[in-house]
Amino acid sequence: MKFLLKISIITMVLLATVAGQAFAAEYADTLRVGICYGSGAVDSLDFESSSDIYAGILNGREFIPVKLIDASLVTAKPDLVDSAAAYHVIYSSHETPEDAHLAVASLNESGIECFIGYKNSSFCAMGGNYKSMNDAQWAAENLAAAGTPVASSASAVRLVDALGKTQFLVDDTAKGLAVYSSDFEDPDTLLKISGPAKGTYRGGFECRALTAGKLTIVNVVPVESYLYSVVCREMSPSWNVEALKAQAVCARNFALGRINYHKQYGFDVCRTVCCQAYSTDADQSQNVHTAVDTTKGELLFYEDQLVQAVYSSSMGAYTESVENVWGSKFPYLVSVENPYEDTENIYNGKWTKTLTADRATEIMHSKGYNIGDVIEIKVIENTPAGGVLKLLVRGTGGEKVFERESCRSIFSEATYSQRYTVTKGGQTIKPVLYIASGTSKTSPVTLGSVSVLTGSKAVTSVNDACTVSDGKAKKTYKTTQTNGDANTYTFSGEGWGHGVGMSQYGAKGMAEAGFNYEEILTHYYTGTHIKKAY
């Protein structure tokens, strides 16, 4: 069941930003996938490959190889000025890496240890890793060749081998240092990385020092290779291949609709359910490969618009129209029946959760809604499909009406979807008391009818309270438990996720019932058609 926990609940909060965008006939063939970024940026990263490793730079999405690394393991790290060795000497600058290599070889022959660098948009022969500008200055003036001393900027990234020898250095605010396997377009060529997202990946990587002393790591990967690692995470590879094909087309549409989505970090999509779950260990399942390969280049369109192919785990009896969730209208994201989803028997398909009034009050306050103590939670309007459109939360000092997606997100610990009912109070649990002696115990005795004394220790019970004492301290337990508290709200619902677009479990059910992926997709995305874009 571990897999089921991984099924994504896609949250498309920014759907409106790409609303109605008509896509040109050309699509990115390579995606930039965020691996380590923001607070997850790393101090350094190791790369390991059984095939050759190249270091280079990226020109847009195109990898420009600069140096074949003579090692199977290399480490990228920031080359900060305030670190121990971030002062260098530039001996010469060149337009091509080939010319820079020749200059490096010649300098090495003359006894100056050099490496290739990329600084100020030029390839250069660099020496250094000096501890201070004075040291770099001295070297620039006194070694066999004259050069210019430089200090690395905060953007500089250095690649070193296992012996600590610098292999390549990039110091450019717009470009990072790229590390690729020799045949990065071959989906069977894998590159292994260390760190919090350690694992094997297809494609290559770009490392940029976007924040001082930390590396942002982006996996730059062909779209079709990316899909292998998404489909295997978003659905179980064991599912019917027609469901996997539907997932592959959705994932392709979704990714190509999110180019530059995380542009503050320099990538398109992240590897979490914020975008699409992306495997840290490249999946080799034949079913997944078949699903991606047989739908290669296929995209879902509504007229000439690329469909925003949102999806979530399960949805219950009906999917929800997008306007009732995110507000914007899309003619192909309208409510449809979802009859093939086995809602009763799937993880988080049907659910019941409770929330005490105290906890509801705490949540409201933590989210900035100061309405006093919560005294009522009530659905005041449903969508035509039966979802919650408006939820009233009344407190002792005011009230707040939540609409659309916030009906799911406000009490997210008690609601797995926007499709639920809420009732106040719950079943009353009447606790019972056992009197134990050694390993045996009596039949249960209903509290409120018993009083037991054993020496100085006592257990007494009166009405709805039970008091336990050891002669010194005593503690009272309420005999009516939380679940039966009149101030408890019970949320009963179906579906897991936002409920818009394709139900992944519904797609599984349709595939098992004999529908093909095209029928699945056109069922969930009304009025759409598949086109092979490349």
Q: Cβ 10 to Zn ion, closest distance in Å? A: 10
Residue number, 255 or 363, with CB nearest to Zn ion:
255
Residue number, 274 or 375, with CB nearest to Zn ion:
274
- Of the listed pieces 3-11, 64-72, 262-270, 518-526, which binds Zn ion according to CB under 5 A? 262-270
The one-letter code for the residue type at 120 is N
Displacement of CA 17 from its chain's centroid (Å): 19
What is the rounded distance in angstroms from the CA atom of residue 518 to the CA atom of residue 520? Answer: 5
Residue number, 172 or 268, with CB nearest to Zn ion:
268
The one-letter code for the residue type at 330 is F
Is 409 exposed, middle or buried, given 0-12, 13-18 or 19+ CB atoms closer than 10 A? Answer: middle
What is the rounded distance in angstroms from the CA atom of residue 166 to the CA atom of residue 496? Answer: 50
Q: Which residues on neighbouring strands pair with residue 118, listed in sequence order?
A: 123, 170
Residue number, 35 or 231, with CB nearest to Zn ion:
35
Report yes or no: 400 and 378 within 8 Å, Cβ to Cβ: no
Report yes or no: 85 and 156 within 8 Å, Cβ to Cβ: no
Q: Cβ 164 to Zn ion, closest distance in Å? A: 35
- Of the listed pieces 224-232, 263-271, 298-306, 418-426, which binds Zn ion according to CB under 5 A? 263-271
Q: Cβ 125 to Zn ion, closest distance in Å? A: 40
Residue number, 21 or 260, with CB nearest to Zn ion:
260
- Asked if 18 touches Zn ion (CB under 5 A), the answer is no
Residue number, 35 or 433, with CB nearest to Zn ion:
35
Q: Cβ 274 to Zn ion, closest distance in Å? A: 3
Q: Cβ 258 to Zn ion, closest distance in Å? A: 8
- Residues 6+ away with beta carbon under 8 Å from 11: 273, 274, 498
Q: Cβ 270 to Zn ion, closest distance in Å? A: 3
Tokens of 394: 């009344």
For tokens 């009963």, the residue is 492
Residue number, 215 or 275, with CB nearest to Zn ion:
275
What is the rounded distance in angstroms from the CA atom of residue 221 to the CA atom of residue 219? Answer: 6
Kindly write out the interface string for residues 266-285 of this chain, putting x where it contacts Zn ion by CB under 5 A and - elsewhere: ----x---xx----------
Report yes or no: 102 and 204 within 8 Å, Cβ to Cβ: no
Kindly write out the interface string for residues 183-202 of this chain, putting x where it contacts Zn ion by CB under 5 A and - elsewhere: --------------------
- Rounded CA Rg of the chain: 31
Residue number, 54 or 278, with CB nearest to Zn ion:
278
Q: Cβ 261 to Zn ion, closest distance in Å? A: 6
What is the rounded distance in angstroms from the CA atom of residue 506 to the CA atom of residue 246? Answer: 11
Report yes or no: 9 and 496 within 8 Å, Cβ to Cβ: yes
- Residue burial 79-116, b: 16+ Cβ < 10 Å; e: rest: bbeeeebbbbbbbbbbeebebbbebbeebeeeebebbb
- Of the listed pieces 170-178, 264-272, 317-325, 375-383, which binds Zn ion according to CB under 5 A? 264-272
Q: What are phi and psi of 97, to 5 degrees?
A: -65, -30
Q: Cβ 28 to Zn ion, closest distance in Å? A: 16
Q: Cβ 117 to Zn ion, closest distance in Å? A: 33
Count of residues interacting with Zn ion (CB under 5 A): 3
Residue number, 13 or 486, with CB nearest to Zn ion:
13
**Among 256, 254, 257, 178, which residue's Cα sits nearest to residue 219?**
178
Residue number, 203 or 493, with CB nearest to Zn ion:
203
Crossing angle of helices 241-256 and 223-234, rounded to 10°: 130
Q: Which residues bind Zn ion (CB under 5 A)?
A: 270, 274-275
